[in-house]
Chain A
Amino acid sequence: MRAEDLSELAGRAEAEIAAAPDEAALDALRVRYAGRREGEITKAMKRLPALPAGERPAFGAAANAARERIEAALERRTAALRDAALQRDLAAAAVDLTLPPRRVRIGRYHPITRTIREISRIFAGMGFEAVEGPEVEWDYYAFEALNIPADHPARDKFSTLWVQAEGSMEVALAATGAGRARAATGQPDRILLRPHTSPMQIRVMEQRRPPVRVIVPGRCFRFEATDPTHESVFFQYEGLAIDEQLTMADLKGVLYSFARQLFGGERKVRFRPDYFPFTEPSAEIAFDCFACDGTGVTNEGKCRTCAGSAWIEAAGCGMVHPDALRRVGYDPSKYQGFAFGGGVERLAMLLTGTVDIRLFHQNDLRYLESV
């Protein structure tokens, strides 16, 4: 055997190794060519001493080269076979990617909760602290302290639900300021379900000194026949800000900012004179409709969100009446401020496309899961 034969041997081995169909065949080839004892290379090397001294270096070098070629071929083939096996395993693990998933249970907030949180969040950003107050209330806080004494015509608007009980505010420890003055009379007062969140204007002012900025979300009640736009139990949000120089322009600004954050876009805001006994001047605020961008029409005709009016009336508001300030011991020559109140459901309906207000209390899960 000569050095050239070794090269030929390596060439043959490479071809066979590359064609080895599996690990077992490869192992056999490894033993046959590269085996330490009986491998072809080893056998060739054993012949080395028998060669003439002059040929030995060349033959030795050729044998080493042949061994390296064979070992490299074995490595290549091993990697290729492993890779092929991996590819087969991966392919075998294929699933139908379109099958339904293992479902997770999704909890959802009631839309009223979401809307109240959104309202509170927006006003918190403007420095308004969210506070809450009693749903069952004294006549005093619901009406009297808000310039609506007994037999006042403005009471007609409120269609109040009354509790079959009366009590004396003397026992109401929370009552301070004007409430305490009322309590001190020892006279019984009637108990009602608050028809608006405005009693909290008085309660908050009794307990705090200016500057005041609060937002009060809460449940209210009215004696009302229910229909798609009327509910006997509903939610309102009430805002109150008192400081030394707050004006109606600030009121407009706060509600404008609210509308932009809630509905998005460049909203327009409109004030219209209105009447509430506990604010003067009073206004009703409307935003241009976000659904039709204040045009009153959409592609489908008359805008359903604003009923074609281009405006969404959102809240009653005004400057807190000096009588109310005086009643809680604020000096109206020093302090002034504004209050506003609106319906939570109204906003929730606009934001979710809910068309029947009764859905909020019916708790049909098919509805709740959709909003």
Chain B
Amino acid sequence: MPISWLREYVETAVPPDEVAERLHMAGTEVDHIERTGAWGDKVHVGRIEALEKHPNADKLQLATVGYGDGRRKTVVTGAFNISVGDVVPYAETGAEIVDGHTGERTVLRPRPMRGIVSEGMVLSAKELGLGDDHEGILLLDKALRVGAPLRDVLGETIVQFEIAPNRPDALSVLGIAREASAILAAPLRQPALEPLTYRLDPALLSVRIEDPDACPRFAAAYLTDVAIGESPAWMQQRLRAAGMRPIDAVVDITNYVMLELGQPLHAYDAERLRGRALVARLARHNETLRTLDGVDRILRPSDLLIADEERPLGLAGIMGGEDSEIRATTTTVALECASFEPRRVRRTTEAHALHGSSGSAAARRFGLDLSPDLVPIALARAVHLLREHTGARVVGATDVYPRPRQVPNVRLRFSDIGRVLGADVGREEAVDALRRLGFAHAELGDQLVVTPPAIRTDIAIPEDIVEEVARIVGYDRIPVRVPTGVLPLHERHPLEQLRERARDALVGFGLQETISYALIDPAWLERLTPDGSPIAPEPLPLANPTSAAQSILRPTLRASLLDTASRNVKHRRGVAIFEIDPVYLARRGDLPEERWTIGILVAGQAEPVRENETWLTAERDWDWHDILGLARGLADALGLGQFDDQTRRPAAGLHPARSYGIEHRGRVAFTIGQLDPRVAAMWELPQTTYLAEIDLASLLDVQRPPQAVTPPRFPAAWRDLAFVVDEAVAWAGVMHEIEAAGQKAGLEQVALRDVYRGPQAGEGKKSFAVRLTFRSATGTLSDADVDKAIARIEGRLRHRFGAAVRAP
């Protein structure tokens, strides 16, 4: 919106930037400010004094342009929309303009055109940087002083406002002027209206509402003797500044009134209305309409139409039809000005995908709660402009408004202002703010009864009034205060606590935390096993994904971890990462389960920590013992016991001989292992990629409170032991056997010192070397006690595993 237009309605000496700033700070959000008219001294207001044919070219003509003080130049132009007497922008040689073809800024240089050198140029809107219009020369208001620098007459501050959806009244120049007038305490000037007589012979035009819920108000004017031509230059200029393309005087005036007052209007060629009627009705079954954009649309029974007695003319409030459009030959105009139920407008706009269409400016306004009280004002304004600029004669008007809307009276106490704001706003100050906003009010003691202007459809409750007062006195008046009062009791959040402790532990282990997209590519899930079979339940798909790559809610963290690792190993040799986030599992008829999961991944090189720095640490890759150590370390750090069921089940997608999963309460609670080498290859990951996945909620079941240990008083005794068993014997069984046998004798720790395979153990055998620590809580152990315990342990190992005890 150009500030100069605003100034037509608000008299103020406040500079444009400050007007914008004060509007912004009072709730009319300024998106950005543009300035046009940074033209230098060489662009002037010129006047076409003579036109003649170019001697060497049919498509060019020579224009003699005067630009004040007797200065006169002849230019070559390809435009034919100019005639003698027109006032146009004229640029001297050396002026900076926008190239009409490339859109780039350029300095105008003398250039012969078909043998004649143009002394400067007459300019299109585009060449001035005023829009995209390069069809013809921009015609200026003939009242402008010829020779004036163009920047003085066209230079403009244009403010782009962002209007909240509850304020359709502010979606117009007058609406913003009303705000500015209240904020600046400056008088508001109303635009000129045509006094209308609401009487109209139905034989000329009748208006009917079939569904008053969908169309609460429908007014129309009937005009004859309309001379269709171009609208005045100032109007075209304002439409252009608002991003609208001038078409003809009638359409331009309806658009202009929409910009000015916020109320869209639609003009019909009255001769083409069958039955001389305008009807607001719902679409019938299978009805079709070719809209102005040339699209044939099948209408839905919930679409509100404007129709004549025989056929649909347009989608009400959204887009007209081709048939009833104003044409160059139109002389009789039926002007519609109506009010529509916003939700239906929004649904129809959406259903017919008309958001970005040319009708969207109207649909956008009708999609909000626009007051029906604007209808007669906008009609009177449009008729006034039509009479002035097209020579139209007003035959009559009609206004159908079966159930007039009541403006609410809002009751509040003066004390409510302080109660809500916590600011001290005086009674007079509050009343003054309301008066400036055009709100009527009555005071009854401490009570205040406020009646907003009808156009302010957003005002309904006392808090709305409080906000209005606050906006005008300024939000700066609200003091900064630290709240007092009773603090609520807080609750414990075991899952969140455990989760954060897990994060701390894993960071402490030296892993990097990652957070990846909760939305993933479904194709990823097919790359988690060698044969593409799923490792997780069916994911939840989105109805309207932004892209296939983000079209499902992830049912596992694994794909994200592999993707993260895969992208990082392109530029480093090793990664060690973890993520703690929910996975999403569908539940019938309910919101999905958001199952918090810990995912750990290590891949490639483990050491040295700093790549290539091998002077202290040899290079080595991550291995199975590392991932197991991370998982065990996490369990120790969090104080976790074991799951009841320790059965190790095969884990899908992991190395068949180097992985397992453990179930708890019917779900896989813990998975660990090396990534299946075939899967690793699919993700371009090193073979040495290891994963652990842990269901956080399951851990709550095995979480144990800390058990404080008092440091022992008596010394420990050590014994080393080595024994040979079959290769198939697993360590855990051996260890449990030793623990069971040594328990009574005070066996405190079994430490594995070595696992040996070789000639001394024998084919198919291995040797375990252990160091056993014994300690009694009641005294120092004697050698004899320990010897007895060792003998018992050896006996059990022989008996249970056929172990051959070696000399240590």
Contacts and interface: CB of A to CB of B under 8 A. Distances in A.
Interface of A: 99-100, 102-110, 112-113, 117, 126-127, 129-132, 134-138, 150-154, 156-157, 161-165, 167-168, 171-172, 191, 193, 208, 210-213, 219, 221, 223-225, 232-233, 241, 243-250, 252-254, 256-257, 269-275, 277, 280-283, 319, 321-322, 336, 360-366, 368-369
B466 A167 contact: no
Interface in B145-195: 164-167
24 contacts: A99-B615, A100-B613, A106-B510, A107-B507, A110-B513, A126-B483, A127-B488, A136-B540, A136-B553, A151-B347, A161-B544, A167-B589, A171-B590, A172-B590, A172-B591, A193-B553, A208-B488, A211-B486, A223-B544, A246-B485, A247-B422, A250-B422, A272-B25, A336-B420
Residue in A221, A257, A270 with the greatest tally of chain B CB atoms within 10 Å? A221
Contacts of B487: 127, 211, 213
Contacts of A319: 420, 463
Contacts of B509: 105, 107
B27 interface: yes
Nearest to B508: A107
Interface string B567-583: 11001100111000010
Interface centre among B342, B422, B466, B517 (most CB of A within 10 A): B422
Contacts of A361: 515-517
A137 B591 contact: yes
Contact of A162 (B26, B466, B481, B542): B542
Contacts of B29: 274
Given A246-B485, A280-B464, A319-B463, A365 B553 contact: no
- Most A CB contacts (10 A, CB to CB) among B467, B479, B496 go to B467
Interface stretch (B34-42, B469-477, B728-736): B469-477
A187 to B, nearest CB: 12
A250 B481 contact: yes
Contacts of A257: 482
A248 B477 CA distance: 11
Contacts of A283: 475
A106 B513 CA distance: 11
Contacts of B546: 161, 223-225, 232
B423 interface: yes
Nearest to A141: B591
State the majority secondary structure of interface residues on A: mixed
Given A282-B467, A366-B571, A165 B586 contact: yes
B512 A249 contact: no
Contacts of B488: 127, 129, 208, 210-213
B610 interface: yes
B515 A244 contact: no
Contacts, number: 258
A135 B594 contact: yes
A280 B416 CA distance: 13
Contact of A151 (B343, B483, B518, B568): B343
A199 to B, nearest CB: 11
A338 B609 CA distance: 49
Contacts of B232: none
Interface string B490-504: 110100100010010
B467 A249 contact: no
B478 interface: yes
In the A-B complex, list the 7 residue pairs whose CB atoms are closest, starting with the nearest.
A249-B422, A105-B510, A247-B422, A273-B27, A281-B467, A275-B164, A153-B165
B421 A275 contact: no
B584 interface: yes
Contacts of B575: 365
B631 to A, nearest CB: 15
A210 B488 CA distance: 8
Contact of B592 (A100, A136, A369): A136
Contact of A363 (B481, B490, B516, B519): B516
Given A136-B592, A249-B481, A321-B463, A161 B423 contact: no
A76 to B, nearest CB: 43
Which of B367, B481, B564, B586 has its CB near the most chain A CB atoms (within 10 A)? B481
Given A164-B540, A254-B483, A274-B164, A247 B419 contact: yes
A192 B506 CA distance: 32
B24 interface: yes
B485 A322 contact: no
B550 interface: yes
B595 to A, nearest CB: 12
Given A257-B482, A364-B568, A105 B540 contact: no
A299 B575 CA distance: 39
Given A102-B616, A282-B467, A364-B568, A232 B550 contact: yes
B512 A369 contact: yes
A193 B591 contact: no
B544 A162 contact: yes
A257 B480 CA distance: 9
A246 B483 contact: yes
A256 B481 CA distance: 9
Contacts of B590: 167-168, 171-172
Contacts of A103: 608-610, 613, 617
Contacts of A223: 544, 546
B421 A248 contact: yes
B508 to A, nearest CB: 6
